[in-house]
Structure formats: C-alpha cells, structure tokens
Homo-oligomer: A and B are copies of this chain.
Amino acid sequence: MSLTAPLTLTTERVALDLGARSYDICIGADLLAQASSYEGLPASSAAVVVTNTTVAPLWLAPVRAALHERHRQVHEVLLPDGEEHKNWQTLQRIFDTLLEHGCDRKTVLYALGGGVVGDMTGFAAASYMRGVPFVQIPTTLLAQVDSSVGGKTAINHPLGKNMIGAFYQPRRVLCDLDTLRTLPARERSAGLAEVIKYGPIADMAFFDWLEGAMDQLVALDADALRTAVRRSCEIKAAVVGADETESGLRAILNFGHTFGHAIEAGMGYGVWLHGEAVGAGMCMAAELSHRLGLVDAPFVQRLRALVARAGLPTRAPVIDADDNAGRYLAWMRLDKKSEAGSIRFVVIAEPGRAEVREAPDALVREVIDACCAD
C-alpha cells in the first residue's frame, strides 16, 4: 500500500482477523453521530456509554442520539479523567451502574474516550456477568492508533501498570477523525509517540513518511492524521492477528514501554502521560539497542529528533535522587514481559524490525544514566 495514495472522504475499514472474534476498525470523518456506523453490531434493549467528564460535553450527545435508534435505553457512566483513576474503585462505578439499571448479558457497552476509558470499559465488559459485548469509540490519537485496537484491557495496581486485566476483543472500533480536532496539544503529542513507534519496529517507509509529515501532524492536519491512523491500525491489526495473547510477536508493540512504564509508575500515574513516557522510553530503548551493537548512533539520533518534533520529551525523569537506575530496574522487573526476575526489552534489531532481548543490568544502568535529565 502506498502511503501517498489519494485520500478519500469515505470510511476506510481495516480488518482484524481473529476467527470468530474478527472485527473492523472503521476510520473516517463524522462517524460517531451516524446511525450507519453502528449497523450490524449486537442488538439489545439497553446500552451503556462509558466516558469521562472531559469527553462528555464534546461527544456524548451525538453518540447518545445515534444509539437511541438501536437501543431502547441508553445509560451513561461519567468517569473522572486521568490515568490516576484507572483503578478498581473507578471500575466499580461501571459495575454499580450496570447493576443498578438491571443490565443483562446482552447489554452493549460503548467506550467513548481515550485509552483509560477504553481499557477500563473493556475490562468491565470482559468481567460483567463474565462477558458482555463492547464497542470502542476512541477520541484521542493514542487510543485510535493503539489502545483501542487489539483487545488488551486492564486497570492499574499500585505496584504496577495494567497488571489486572483481560484479553477481550471489541466488536468494532470507530475512529472518528473529527474528534481529533479538539485534542489538546499534550494529548496530540502523546498519541504521536505511539504512531512513531510503528516505524522502527515494523515499517521504515512509514518512518520516512512521518519525518516529512510531522509538521502537519502536529498541526492536526486532517489528511495527515487519516494516513497516520490508517497505517498504524494496519500494522497493529497485522501484529495482533498473528499473536493475539502476546505469546511472541505482539511484544514488539511494547517498544519503549518497559522504560515508559517505569517512568509512569516512578513519577506516579498521571504525572507524565502514557505517550510522553513512551516517547522518552523509545529514546532509551533505542539507546540500549545501539549499545547492544544493533543499530548505529545516527539511527538513534533520527528517532530522538522525530520524538522531539512531535512535542515529546526525549529525556527521562529522575525518579529517585539516591538510586535512580536502581529504582528504574526495580520497576522494570515488575514488567509483564519479565520472566523469573529477568527484564526483557524490546530492542531494534535493525531499523524496521524489533525483537525481545535481555540485557545486562550494568548496560541498562548506563542507558538510564545517559538518558535521564539531571
């Protein structure tokens, strides 16, 4: 597929092939208000839209109106906004609402919001009565290009990010590009981190394109965003279709995330946005790849420059004044890819191809020391 193919105004569909659990990722403008966007989804008398206090004033009314054509009752759950609320207490509010309204096994949940709303709604759907259908309506760039696709759902635990969750696929993902027009600059940059990620791990042609299109992406240019969302979803769908439950390949999507999760946990959830931590984390993972002899210094510099142009931090925070590298290592040992206490890093084997490797603690400490802000 050419990245410079003429753009159309029609809705594009990226298929995620998972047998009986296959679904489409629909990408287009003016999607969430159209009844046709929901055609073919499970029917039920009741629907519940889960969203947050930031997204609701912008997009809840049109979604409600469209859903009222499909469901007799449309309830809503308004969560507080922010990663620091991605915990059991907030999840419980979804269950409370479902039970207070007598929602049954056929009730359809709709996740309207960013990654936190999508992750929590997905886990609620996986667990309520042991599983009800749900639909992702991601309203942030990060959610459209990454978290809404592939069925990873979770909440955080005080001792680690996304530690409690399920692999549970949505029935559809509706990426309405209009929602990105209202995206705050910080959220936009956070989303671009996950877009950039797909280049080094899977597609250097896309990386080349991103270097040319970054100014337009930062300006939220509609055509550029459409291409970025579509190509990101294509890559993610291909990886997830090959390895749904991360027994192998899927781990490459975690490039930058092992360091990133340590940043998020070390700073306290919500201080750095997930995408900001991934931005700095990718620079660290690229530096590690270089010090393992896999990629050259200019490649690391190229990645760092693109991360910076996306408005993201390229240097990681000091999370412990006394033993910064030690604290990083301790958090990373809790990463879900770790096995028997050994941290497993996603490294760039060569530009456009990633793999999972262990690395000596001493080398990782050097990377942390080199990449952390003073």
Contacts and interface: CB of A to CB of B under 8 A. Distances in A.
A336 B105 CA distance: 7
Contact of A166 (B88, B166, B334, B340): B166
Copies in the assembly, this chain: 2
Contacts of A100: 159
B166 A127 contact: yes
A164 B95 contact: yes
A3 interface: no
A326 to B, nearest CB: 15
A131 B245 contact: yes
Interface string A142-166: 0000000000111001011001111
Interface of A is mostly: mixed
A154 B128 CA distance: 10
Nearest to A44: B340
A130 B99 contact: no
Nearest to A106: B339
A154 B338 CA distance: 27
Contacts of A45: 340
Contacts of A131: 166-167, 245
B166 A341 contact: no
B163 A95 contact: yes
Nearest to A100: B159
